[in-house]
Structures are given as C-alpha cells and as structure tokens.
Structure 1
Amino acid sequence: MKSAVETLSPTRAKLTVEVPFEELKPSLDAAYQKIAKQINVPGFRRGKVPPAVIERQFPGAARDEALNDILGAKYVEALEENNLTPLAQPEVEVLKYDDEGPLEFTAEVDVKPEITLPSYEGLSASVEDLAVTDEDVAEQVDALRERFGTLIDVERPAQDGDFVVIDLVATQDGEVVEGAEIAGFSYKVGNGGMIDGLDEALVGVGVDEEKTFTTQLVSGELVGQDVEVKVKVTQVQEQELPELDDDFAQEASEFDTLEELRTDVRERLTRGKRLEQAAAARDAVLESLLEKVEIPLPETMVTEELNARRANLEQQLQYAGMTLEKYLEDEKQTQEEFEADLERRVRDAVAAQFLLDEIADKEELGIDQAELTQHMIRRAQQSGQDPQEFVNHMFEHNHVPELVQEIRRGKALQILVEGAEVKDGSGNVLELKNLQADGSIGEPAAEGEEPAEAEETTED
C-alpha cells in the first residue's frame, strides 16, 4: 500500500491511498466465500459456488462487500503510516476500483494539530483570597434554624418570607390554560422561580382574598404569551425560628454549644472555599500556559461543542421553567454577549484539551483499572446515576477511551499546578499539593505514594 498526505490546514489533512490488487485479494476471497454461503445455485453445494459463477449471478456484489472491509483497514493503516490522529469521521471518495487493478481513494479528515510545547516549569498565577466572613457563617446557621422552625397561622396579609397556601389559575381570553391550574399549593413568598409577578402579587393579600395580574408563561404551548393569572390565598403562616443558643446547637447538631456549632460551620465553609480556590488556581495556571502557545482549532470540533453546550443550557432552562431571554435578562447579558462568551469558553476548553493531551503524552502518563473505576463511580455520582448502570453504559457505547483521556488530562493538569507557584491576593503561596477531596490539607504523601486527588469543582 502507498499513501500520501496533503496538509489542507493545521487541523485538516487529505490522505491519498493506493492499494495494489494483491492486498485486495484476501478481502475479495473472503467476500466471495461469505456470499457463497448465503446463496443457492443449482448444481453447486451451499458455500461451494465458484467466484466466476457468483460474479455472473451477482455482478460486483463481492467487490462491494470487500470494499467496506478494505477501506476501513487501509484508512487506519494510512493514518498510522503518516502519524495522524483523527478527530472525526473522514470524508472518503473512491477514485478507482477495477476488477484486477488497484484501489485508489482519498480521505479528508480533521486531525489533531501539531503543538510545540512551551516550558511548563515555574509557571505562576494568582487567585483571590480565601475569605469566610461572619456573615457567611450567620447565613449558614440561619439556614439551619429554618429547618427547625415551626409555622404558625397569622391573621394578617402575607409578607415577604411568609408561607402561604394558594389556589392559582391562568387564563387567556377567558379560557383556562392547560396545565396552569393548581389548588392547595404551599409556597414561600419571595422564593421566586414559579411565575413572574407572583411574589409581588402575594404581598399584602390576606386569607380568602384574590389578586389578578398579567404575566408570560415560560413553558408550554403559550410560552412567551401574555396570560391572566388569578391567585387566591387560603392560609398565611409565618415561620417561628428557634432561639440561637446552646439548646438549639444541641437539637440541630452533635455539638454542646452554639460557639462549637459556629466553629464547625466556619471550618466546613473554609474547606469549601479552599476547593473553589484550588479550582480557580487550576484554571489560572492552565490559562497562563495557554497564553504561551498558539493552538489551531478544528472549526467543526468547535461548532459541535458550541451546539452541544447550547442544547445542554436549553435543556437545563426548560427543566427550570425559564426561557433563554429571561436567563439573559437575569445575567444582564445581550444575546451577542452571551454567544461571544460561550464561544470564547468553548475555544479555551478545546485548546486546553489538546494542550493537556500533549503534556500527558510527553510525561507518558497512564492509568490503572482502579483509577478508571474510581473515576466512573465519581462521574456516576455527579450525574445522579446508578454506578453499575453508568459503567455498563460506558463499556457498551465505547466511551471508556474518552474517560481514560479525562483522567490523563487531570493528571497532566495536576503536574502543571504542583509545579507552579500560585499566590492569593495577599501574596501567600497556596498549599495545593496536599489538598484533600474534602477541602482539608493532608499530610505530605510518603515517597512513591500518590497524593489524594481533589475533586473538580468547576467545569468550563
């Protein structure tokens, strides 16, 4: 077999492949044998029909059958021969395929770009200070108090923060909107996320009083259209919170005093903030290295990732009962700003993948079965799936190579971060090497022992 490669762009190549007849013959012979077992020809036993008879009966059938096998095998062989890593399915064109002549075909495909790795020793980056304020602690303690609060009926109009029981119906042109009628629904005033305008309408409404307002639905057939919503309050309750004292601490936790509870809350918040800071550090170190190298990106790959992220966002918004327009309004972004920001993040993410893959190859990073299993279990937990079902799905749909790449990229990023100097806003050097998955700082790993891997807390 002869092959030649034409570089169409830094991320796209065209292979031209010529396969001589002697290399085609085994596939053709196998194709004739396969067809012979499938047909009945008078005078011949099944499986013993000569190729010449098959060709008279079914002209070209064996050549077509063999072609599928030959193209795939020779395409892979040509990729290996020219040291190309494909990123997508190729566009194949058969140029010549005669009865006794060679097979000639071309294959255009997006390929992994060649990257000249810059030095990644001694990188530096900075992140914001880790800060847990008294207000942060108080907010968490108050949230715990609410869990132990009691609801008491009150004879006054509803206020922000009250719990109300409501009947609600939405109509358009006097007709009830399908799926927009509820009764006896418990709702916290000011909670948001149900119907635009509901919280404002409920404030000042007493028991057995009604309020009508105009709003737009965010889901269903009438999404984006004006509807009239009538809400009736049938019960108003205010929440009575327990006193902040040692008795509350003993009821709500394993601690004897309120001060011990607050200390524990502060420590848990600190560990969470430390993980957030570590994630920011990883992003900052990776960004500092990306600034040192130009990585050409396959536009088809970027487009596919853009489309996937848009679809994922739209699905999440649909589950949350929110339109993209409302989301952008809350984020104070225009459509153009959103698209520009999304494309920037996608391009950075794709470039980071190529860069980390290159580092993983250079460092000859591998993984073992235990690491793969642990990674799959963590991924299953993050997505709320049964671990065994997730593992089965990954193997059945051949997603394991993708998971292996994820682990190798994580290891490559860990090498970058551990070799970098990361300081916070106050100039303190961050201790990242011994950071544990729960946000605590562990003891230095013994020689030859891998440190515990901190979980990713952010995702591009």
Structure 2
Amino acid sequence: MKSAVETLSPTRAKLTVEVPFEELKPSLDAAYKQIAQQINVPGFRRGKVPPQVIDRQVGRGAVLNEAINQVLPQKYMEALQENSLEPLAQPEIEVTKLDEDADEVALEFTAEVDVKPEIELPDYAGLEAQVDDIEITDADVEEQVQALRERFGTLKDVERPAQDGDFVVIDLVATKDGEPVEGAEVSGMSYQVGKGGMLEGLDEAIVGLSAGEEKVFTSQLVGGDLIGQDVDVQVKVTQVQEQELPEYDDDFAQLASEFDTVGELEADVRERLGRGKRLEQAAAARDAVLEALLEKVEVPLPDGIVTEELDARRQNIEQQLAFAGITMEKYLEDEEQTVEEFEADLERRVRDSVAAQLVLDQIAKKEEFGVDQQELSSHLMRRAQQSGQDPQEFVNHMFEHNHVPELVAEILRGKALAQIVESAKVTDASGNEVELKNLQPDGTIGEPAEETEGDEAPVNAPAELLTDAVEDAEPSED
C-alpha cells in the first residue's frame, strides 16, 4: 500500500491511498466466499460456487464492491498511522480509481478528514492567575438560617387577599379563542406567590385575590402545541395561607440542628458556607489558569468540529429551557441579551472549549500520561452518578456505543489540567495564595474521598474490555 497526505489546512488533511492487487486479493477471496453463501446456483452446493460462476451470475462489480467495503476501512486506518494523523471526525471517502483487467485490480481512494492540528505548546509550568476573594457576609448566613426556619415553618389559613410570599391553592385553565387548551388545566395546586417558574403574569394575577375569587390574564404557554402563543388563563384562588416561622432562639437551634445555641448554629453555617466558597474559588482558579494558558497559544480550530459542538450545545440549552418551562425569548429577556449577543457568547465559549481540549490532549501526549482500569472504573461511576443513571446501565451503554475512548480522553485531559494547575501560582484579589488541594486527578474540584475497600470494582465492566478501551485511547508514541 502507498499513501500520501496533502495538508488542506492546519486542521484538515487529504489522504490518497493506493492498494495493489495482492493486498486487495484477500478481501476479494472473502467477498467471493460470502456471496457464495448467499446465492443458489443449480449444480452447485451453497457456498461452493466458483468465482467464475459468481462473476456471471451477480457480476464482477458486486464482488469488487464487497471487497472494497471490507478493505477500505483497514487501509484508511493504516494510512492514518503511516502519516501520523489523528482524526477528529468521520472522513469523506471517494474511490477515485478501480482498474480491472484479466490479472490485476488496482484500487485508489481519497479521504478528507478533520485532524488534530500541530500546536506549538508554550511553557505551561508556573502560570499565574487571579481569582476573587472569598467573602462570607452576614446576609449569606442570614439567608441560610432563613431557609432553615422556613423548613420548620407552619401554614395557617388567613381571611385576606393573597400577598407576595403567601401559599395559595389555585385552579388554572387556559383557553384559546374561547376553547379550552388540552393539557392546560390544573386544580388544587399549591403555589407560593412570588416563587415564579410557572406562567408569566401568574404572580401579578394572584396578588390581591381572596379565597373564592378569580381573574383572567393573558400569558404564553411553555409547552404543548401552542407553545409561545398567547392564551387566556383563568386562575381561581381557593385557599390563602400564611407561613408562620418558628422563633429564632436556642430552642430552635436544638430543634433544627445538633447544636444547643444559635451562636453555635451560625458558626456551623458560616463554616459550611466557607467550604462551599473555597470549592467555588478552586474551580474559578482552575478555569483562570486554563484561560491564562489559552492566551499564550495559537490553536487552529476545525470548523466542522466547532459547528458540531455549537449545534449540540444550542440543542442542549433549548432542551433544558423547555424542561424548566421557559421559552428562549423569556431566557434572553432575563439575561438581558439579544439573540445576536447570545449566539456570539455561545460561539466564543465553544471555541474556547474546543481549543482547551486540543491543547490538553497534546500536553497529555507530551507528558505520556496513561489511564489504568481503576481510574476508568471510577470515572465511569462518577459520570453515571452525575447523569442520574444506574451505573451498570450507564457502563453497558458506554461500551455498546463505543464511548469509552471518549471517557479515557476526558481523564487524560483532566490529568493534564491538574498538572498545569498544581504548578500554577494563583492568588486572590488581596494577594493571598490560593490552595488547590481539592483539585482531583480528573481535573474536577471536590472534597477528597476517603479510600474504602471494595472500590476496585464499582461497576461490572469486564476487565478485558476496560483494558482494551484504555489501550485504544492512550496517547500513541511519536
């Protein structure tokens, strides 16, 4: 086999591959055997039909096509390795030559594909970055305490119009042109006035209504066939309740916590807030260091990969908004963004993300990082927990759909990022150095987990499959 590569751009290459007859012949022989098993020819047993007869019965072209389909993926992979190319997407393949005569067949094909660009890495040791100070205010503590009091609050009926913060029981029905909208009717629903998250205009309609009173307002549905269209909504209040909060004293501290006094309770709240703020600061430090790295390097980006990722993120955002019952228009209004500003911001974030992946991939390869079975198993378990799926079902899906190499790549990038961050100097706005001891090996931020027996097999993925996946996805040697 001969192969040659033409660089179309820093991120796209064109391979030209020539396959001589002797390398195509095993696939031709296999194609004849396969077709022989599929046809019935009088005078011959199934599977024993000679090639000459097959050529007459089904045509030489059918055999050649079958052989090409068998040999082409293998020769494409060999050409990638021969030319040290790392593909980022599926190739566009075209058979450009198929010469056939009595004795030989010569196959030539081209493959255009997005490839990882060569990146000139800067010195990534000792990067400097800055993050905001950790600040825990009395208002932060008060907000947490207030939420705790509300958990232990009680509701009592009141004979007055509903106010912001009250709990009401309501009936809702939406109509369009005087006709009820299917699926847009609820009754006996409990709702806190001012909480939001339902229909726009609902809170304003409820305020001022007493039990037994109703009001009609115009709003837009966030789901169903009439999503985004104006409808008339009738809301009827059947009950108004006021929340009574327990007195904030030592008795409450003993009721709601393990502490004896409100002073001890507040100290614990402040400490927990501090832990959360430190984790947030560490995550901000990680992102700031990565941003500092990207500012020092030029990364050519494959347009196809950027477009694909952009479409995926846009679709994910739209799905999340639909699940939350929020229209895109409402989201942009709340964010005070125009459509153009939203798209520009999304593209910027996607480009930064793709650039970061490419840089971290090259650093992981340069540092010769690897992934063992325990790391892969732990990552699979963590991803399953994050997605809310059953671990075994998640693992089975990853293996069945060949997603494990992607997970291995995530681990390798995390190791590269962890090394960069650990060597960086990060300070807060006051000049204090930020400790990054909570940076995990996979590049995430979290509380260090205690080691326990039995962690070696959190999922039942076969060891040989894990081994194969790790070996397939580890960086290849130069």
The bucket for the TM-score relative to the shorter chain is over 0.9
Which of 177, 183, 191 aligns to 1:179? It is 183
Q: Distance in 1 between matches of 2:206 and 2:248?
A: 30
How far off is 1:326 after superposition? 0.4
- Check conservation: 2:282, 2:445, Cα contact below 8 A: no
Give the match for residue 14 of structure 1.
14
For 1:402, what is the secondary structure of its paired residue? helix
Pair 1:272-2:276 in alignment: yes
How far off is 1:355 after superposition? 0.4
* Cα separation, partners in 2 of 1:439 and 1:50, compared to 1, 3 Å: closer
How far off is 1:392 after superposition? 1.0
- Check conservation: 2:279, 2:438, Cα contact below 8 A: no
Pair 1:73-2:87 in alignment: no
Deviations along 1:249-276, one digit per CA (max 9) or x if unpaired, are 2211222222222122111111111111
Which of 372, 381, 384 aligns to 2:376? It is 372
For 2:40, what is the secondary structure of its paired residue? coil
For 1:98, what is the secondary structure of its paired residue? strand
- 1:16-415 mapped onto 2 (5 Å cutoff): 16-60=16-60, 61-99=62-100, 100-415=104-419
How far off is 1:385 after superposition? 1.0
Residues paired across the two proteins, number: 444
Deviations along 1:42-90, one digit per CA (max 9) or x if unpaired, are 2333322221111111112221111101111111111100000111111
Deviations along 1:283-309, one digit per CA (max 9) or x if unpaired, are 110111111111100101000000000
How far off is 1:227 after superposition? 1.8
Q: Distance in 2 between matches of 1:261 and 1:300?
A: 54
How far off is 1:435 after superposition? 5.4
Give the match for residue 2 of structure 2.
2
- Check conservation: 1:171, 1:177, Cα contact below 8 A: yes
For 1:322, what is the secondary structure of its paired residue? coil
Q: Distance in 2 between matches of 1:171 and 1:35?
A: 63
For 1:433, what is the secondary structure of its paired residue? coil
Per mean C-alpha deviation after superposition, the further-off stretch among 120-129 and 31-40 is: 31-40
Per mean C-alpha deviation after superposition, the further-off stretch among 340-349 and 218-227 is: 218-227
* Cα separation, partners in 2 of 1:442 and 1:41, compared to 1, 3 Å: closer
How far off is 1:226 after superposition? 2.1
Q: Distance in 1 between matches of 2:375 and 2:261?
A: 42
Q: TM-score, normalised by structure 1?
A: 0.93
Counterpart of 1:10, as a letter, is P
For 1:275, what is the secondary structure of its paired residue? helix
- Check conservation: 2:91, 2:113, Cα contact below 8 A: yes
How far off is 1:439 after superposition? 5.5
Counterpart of 2:235, as a letter, is V
Q: Distance in 2 between matches of 1:292 and 1:250?
A: 55
Q: TM-score, normalised by structure 2?
A: 0.90
Q: Distance in 2 between matches of 1:438 and 1:26?
A: 53
Q: Distance in 1 between matches of 2:149 and 2:197?
A: 23
* Cα separation, partners in 2 of 1:32 and 1:253, compared to 1, 3 Å: same
* Cα separation, partners in 2 of 1:41 and 1:284, compared to 1, 3 Å: same
Q: Distance in 2 between matches of 1:218 and 1:22?
A: 64
How far off is 1:95 after superposition? 1.3
* Cα separation, partners in 2 of 1:198 and 1:66, compared to 1, 3 Å: same
How far off is 1:425 after superposition? 0.6
How far off is 1:219 after superposition? 2.1
For 1:212, what is the secondary structure of its paired residue? strand
Q: Distance in 2 between matches of 1:298 and 1:214?
A: 47
Q: Distance in 2 between matches of 1:191 and 1:17?
A: 64
How far off is 1:225 after superposition? 2.2
- Check conservation: 1:206, 1:233, Cα contact below 8 A: yes
Deviations along 1:175-227, one digit per CA (max 9) or x if unpaired, are 11222222111110001011111111111111111222222222222222222
Q: Distance in 2 between matches of 1:435 and 1:89?
A: 34
Q: Distance in 2 between matches of 1:81 and 1:411?
A: 28
Q: Distance in 1 between matches of 2:339 and 2:445?
A: 38
* Cα separation, partners in 2 of 1:366 and 1:6, compared to 1, 3 Å: same
- Check conservation: 1:274, 1:439, Cα contact below 8 A: no
Deviations along 1:141-200, one digit per CA (max 9) or x if unpaired, are 111111110001111111100001111222222211222222111110001011111111
For 1:27, what is the secondary structure of its paired residue? helix
For 1:103, what is the secondary structure of its paired residue? strand
Q: Distance in 1 between matches of 2:126 and 2:145?
A: 42
Counterpart of 1:165, as a letter, is V
Deviations along 1:364-404, one digit per CA (max 9) or x if unpaired, are 11111111111111111111111111111111111000000
- Check conservation: 1:434, 1:442, Cα contact below 8 A: no
* Cα separation, partners in 2 of 1:219 and 1:45, compared to 1, 3 Å: closer
- Check conservation: 2:438, 2:445, Cα contact below 8 A: no
Structure 1 stretches lacking a partner, 5+ long: 444-460
Counterpart of 1:18, as a letter, is E
For 1:406, what is the secondary structure of its paired residue? helix
- Check conservation: 2:438, 2:448, Cα contact below 8 A: yes
Give the match for residue 435 of structure 2.
431
- Check conservation: 2:156, 2:243, Cα contact below 8 A: yes
How far off is 1:420 after superposition? 0.3
* Cα separation, partners in 2 of 1:225 and 1:38, compared to 1, 3 Å: closer
- Check conservation: 1:306, 1:346, Cα contact below 8 A: yes
RMSD: 1.7
Q: Distance in 2 between matches of 1:95 and 1:196?
A: 60
* Cα separation, partners in 2 of 1:420 and 1:6, compared to 1, 3 Å: same
Counterpart of 1:87, as a letter, is L
